[in-house]
Chain A
């Protein structure tokens, strides 16, 4: 009896959620680019779950052998700057690769010229800091 009530409540919540989403989606049905929006919506899920996740999971698996490379494992000292590099690239790639230059220029009156160098410096700082931390850690472990 109680399980049925819980199941009923679950069902109601789920239906309400789907109804709200369906109602929101109904407003873009007439939009000539509605299919492209849907493609981006589904593409975002596929891009994350079936492309990005497997890539980083496999890359991390491949990096596993670093774990036993030295008395102090360098694994996390590689992971952290690599993740910082990937995160900043994925979020800020338009400036870094000069994507959307005309709209950027119209909006700001500037070019995207400095971003690539700035990002490379940021990446350099991430790796250098991590390397320095690793060196200090290894030195301490040896003593």
Chain B
């Protein structure tokens, strides 16, 4: 008993340097493999995230958070082509963001001896470096936590998701850029120190620790390996593959959707024309049958006196059909066949055939109930005030009596239960 105790004490405190690390796999090479994968993927997650901010139209004051100072990509008019652009950027952001989680966790596992390194810093530069590591690690974990909760509509955190996730991203970007700048040469050297091909052929029995490194990642007293490096990489990337299978279907759709068994957008709604993913129900938006019934009118304004149309008149106008995806910030999408009146025809009717923008208002009194569309989004031949979907009248949850559908426009801006459209002159 006493022997065990002293052995344990010794194991945990070799010369007072904190816990004794035992894994024979930890070392600069393994850390660098995870680092290289993150270096290849995280910029894509970052850029698609920042693009999605632009897709919301920050110049119309409708991106959240509103005023971000210098913290944005260069502004440009979000295009309507290809029509799957937002589906792609946001799908990549969310699915890739989920897929990297096991790699992030493995990377943190591989460098955790550094956290307990004693003394934590020997100079001012080292103190600052530790601080930037806090930004890096806190930043990525914060982004993962808020993002993962948001795609499941769980607002456990209480603060604004958009605000926190956006500024959290910039805190992370600061830490990430510094980390890459400082560690890139070390990563390249470490990757060259072993051959990936050889490691993938090395069995557990032949797995040897890496040579001791100055950073102390390699254990001083490693135990016998219980797993080869090949096995460890397989475990981590297998975890990524599992998350890919569990999430890609929510944006790819088709048969793969049913594989997203743990995500809201993997669910089926049935086989009818209106049976596809709902984002905000009519009841949650407090839309009453009285407001959408025979008394409903669409108001067009901007030119002369406002025009009012009921559903019958709108249905008598030239109808156009477009097969377009609707894609949301949670990274899911679904492609449906929409039909209705072209927005540019409505603009011409209102007396402004070449509008600079258009403001669409919903019957809904809160939430995303108003959106400004850019000129290109009004004038695209597939931009519709949709009255029907897949041949059937829109259901209340999908925006009856009329909703906006614009190619590549974020789903929340495809306003449902439209009440009025105001076209603005250039």
Given the interface pairs A20-B170, A20-B173, A100-B152, the reply to whether A49 lies near B226 with Cβ below 8 Å is no
Compute how far the CA of A33 lies from the CA of B226 in the bound complex, rounded to whole angstroms. Answer: 46
Chain B interface size, under 10 / 10 to 19 / 20 to 34 / 35 or more? 35 or more
Chain B's closest residue to A67 (CB) is B226
**Complex contact B109–A109 (CB within 8 A):** no
Partner of B135, one of A17, A100, A107: A17
A108 contact from B67, B109, B132, B264, Cβ within 8 A = B264
Residue interface bits A112-137, CB-to-B below 8 A is 1, else 0: 00110011001000000000000000
Contact with A along B146-162 (1 / 0, CB 8 A): 10110011111111100
Closest approach, in angstroms, between the C-beta of B87 and any C-beta of chain A? 18
Q: Do the beta carbons of A48 and B141 come within 8 Å of each other?
A: yes
B262 touches A45 (CB 8 A): no
A24 to B69, CA, bound (A): 9
In the docked arrangement, what's the CA distance between A83 and B181, Å?
33
User: B226 touching A73 by the CB < 8 A rule?
Assistant: yes
Contact: A118 with B132, CB < 8 Å? no
**Are B125 and A99 interface neighbours, CB within 8 A?**
no
Q: Looking at chain B's contact residues, is the secondary structure mostly helix, strand, loop, or mixed?
A: helix
Q: CA separation between A119 and B252, bound complex, in Å? A: 21
**Contact status of A92 and B262, CB under 8 A, knowing A28-B164, A45-B138, A106-B280:** yes
Count chain A CB atoms within 10 A of each CB in B124, B138, B168, B269 and give the residue with the most.
B138
Determine whether the beta carbon of B164 is less than 8 Å from that of A100: no
Q: How far is the CB of B278 from chain A (nearest CB, A)?
A: 5
In the complex, chain A residues 1-43 whose Cβ is within 8 Å of any chain B Cβ: 7, 10-11, 13-21, 23-25, 27-28, 31, 33, 36-37, 40-42
Q: Smallest CB–CB gap between A4 and chain B, Å?
A: 11
Residues of B within 8 A of A75 (CB): 226
Task: Tell which of B145, B235, B246 has the most Cβ of chain A within 10 Å.
Answer: B145
Contact for A53 among B112, B156, B246, CB less than 8 A: B112
- Residue from the list A27, A99, A108 in contact with B277, Cβ < 8 A: A108
In the complex, are the beta carbons of B153 and A13 less than 8 A apart?
no
B267 CB-CB contact with A under 8 Å: yes
Taking a contact as CB atoms under 8 Å apart, the answer to whether B262 and A96 are in contact is yes
Q: Is B399 an interface residue (CB 8 A)?
A: no
Cβ 8 A contact of B167, one of A24, A84, A105: A24
Count of A interface residues, CB-CB < 8 Å: 61
A28, A31, A91: residue with the most chain B Cβ atoms closer than 10 Å: A91
CB nearest to A84 among chain B residues: B242
Given contacts A44-B142, A80-B235, contact A104 B128 (CB under 8 A): no
Instruction: Output the least CB separation between A34 and chain B (Å).
Output: 8
Q: Which residue of B lies closest to A122 (CB)?
A: B261
Question: Given A42-B138, A45-B141, A100-B153: A91 and B101 within 8 A (CB)?
Answer: yes
> Mask for B309-329, Cβ within 8 A of A = 1, else 0?
000000000000000000000
Can you name 20 extra interface pairs (CB under 8 A) apart from A31-B160, A109-B281? Answer: A13-B178, A17-B132, A17-B174, A17-B177, A20-B174, A21-B170, A24-B174, A27-B71, A28-B164, A31-B163, A33-B160, A45-B137, A45-B138, A76-B226, A88-B242, A91-B262, A94-B153, A99-B154, A108-B277, A118-B261
Name 8 interchain pairs, CB-CB below 8 A, sorted by A: A14-B178, A18-B128, A18-B132, A24-B171, A41-B139, A44-B138, A53-B112, A107-B153
